[in-house]
Amino acid sequence: VGHLSHPNGWWRDMAQQLIVLRKDISVGPALLTVAKTSKNELARIHALWTLEGLGILKADLVQSLSKDSNPRMRIHAMRAGETLYKAGDKSLGILYQTLLKDSNTDVCIQAMLSGKALQLPDLDAQLKTAMTTHSAEGVKLVATQIMTPIKMRNAAPVVEFSKEQKAILERGELVFAELCSQCHGNDGMGKPMGNGKLLAPALAGSFRIQQHPEY
């Protein structure tokens, strides 16, 4: 737990990873103390997500951090709270509604994105209110895109990539074919190594890849 405050990011990330993988919930109280009282912003964020990763994050901590003076903590509280909301704690819905009115633009936008991800009731009406109370163009843009999403065609958004974007996609495809596919398979489903085992886990459908980047 002490290494969650380390000045080097690798040590912090590795400490969080090992705690979660070991599933040792006895460190819960120590993590809670760090999340609530540490003067190190990064340590608090790591502690929060470690609690979430261990499955022992409680709604009262999310509620508390959603009122924190540090806007980054309010943002991470919302994102971590999504797990609890999806697990059935619908009381946190009020938290997202409240933070839609937050004076910080980044906090407001995160509340919009979380609201969309959780499919909160009456979200459109709340987004319209946020658009009228916030002068930031980013708030108006995100709210508009949520209320009027890009039309779908053949199960994919209608997007025309620029020449530069196409070049980036082509480079990414080449990197995957030359490097990633060697372990994860050409289709991202993992390369079999016999006895029902994979050389590396599947990337397609991976919760760690498609969900919280803090994992």
Tokens 């009027």 belong to 148
CA distances from 76 to 70, 97, 165 (A): 10, 16, 30
Angle, vertex CA 119, rays to CA 115 and CA 122, nearest 5 = 80
**Distance between CA atoms of residues 210 and 61, nearest Å:** 25
Q: How far apart are CA 51 and CA 46, in angstroms?
A: 9
Q: 198 forms bridges with which residues in the sheet?
A: 192
The structure's pTM equals 0.69
pLDDT in tens, the chain (215 residues): 999 999 999 999 999 999 999 999 999 999 999 999 999 999 999 999 999 999 999 999 999 999 999 999 999 999 999 999 999 999 899 999 999 999 999 999 999 999 999 999 999 999 999 998 888 898 999 999 899 876 655 555 556 788 899 999 899 888 888 888 888 888 888 777 776 677 777 887 776 676 655 54
119 Cβ neighbours under 8 A, 6+ residues apart: none
Work out whether strand 156-157 and strand 152-153 pair parallel, antiparallel, or are unpaired.
antiparallel
Closest CA to 47 of 115, 39, 211, 84: 39
If you write DSSP's letter for every residue of 10-70 in order, what string do you get? HHHHHHHHHHHHHT-GGGHHHHHHHHHH-S-HHHHHHHHHHHHHHT---HHHHHHHTT-SS
User: 41 with 72: CB under 8 angstroms?
Assistant: yes
